[in-house]
Amino acid sequence: MPPYRTNDATFDVPQTWQDQSITAFRLPPAPGGGDASFVVTQDAGKGVLPFDTYFEQQAESVRRGLPEYEEVRRDRFELDGREAAWLEFRWTKDRVVMQLRQVYFDCGFKAVICTLTALPANMEYHDPEWRRVMKSLAFTPQPAPVAFP
């Protein structure tokens, strides 16, 4: 069993278990209040799909599934040779408009998604710190492909 690490522990898990880690942080409130969070998730559902196909499927699913969906930004870029995409949107939950900024990264057979969630009026307040955190992001190098004889 490969070891699995958290900040607090290491333990063995069967290789057949699928890592669907979620790491969540609560941000200090903006002046005037309002909750905000930063969440990092892994999605093994990407599998063998090309990254563009996976991202478009995710974006379409979000668009169809959220009430009063309004897209704010959609971009593609690369980070350290990895394909990446930015999807930012607003939607209404219990008559409150929320804004989510999701950045998707291609990590081989999985995707890593970083999501900032806040009230639209508070996004500007959280943006500088979010950018600092995102610039510090460093992925573990992918293993080299196996060469078969």
Q: Which domain holds residue 99?
A: 39-127
- For residue 59, the model assigns a pLDDT of 98
Identify the burial level of 38 via C-beta atoms within 10 angstroms of its C-beta, where 0-12 means exposed, 13-18 middle and 19 or more buried.
Answer: buried
CATH (domain of 75): 3.40.1000.10
Domain membership flag for residue 32: no
Domain membership flag for residue 59: yes
Structural domains counted in the chain: 1
Domain membership flag for residue 19: no
22-56 tens-digit pLDDT? 999 999 999 988 889 999 999 988 999 999 999 99
Domain membership flag for residue 50: yes
The H helix count followed by the E strand count for the chain is 2, 8
63-113 tens-digit pLDDT? 999 999 999 999 999 998 899 999 999 999 899 999 999 999 999 999 999
Mean pLDDT for 117-138 is 95
Answer with the residue of higher pLDDT: 94 or 10: 94
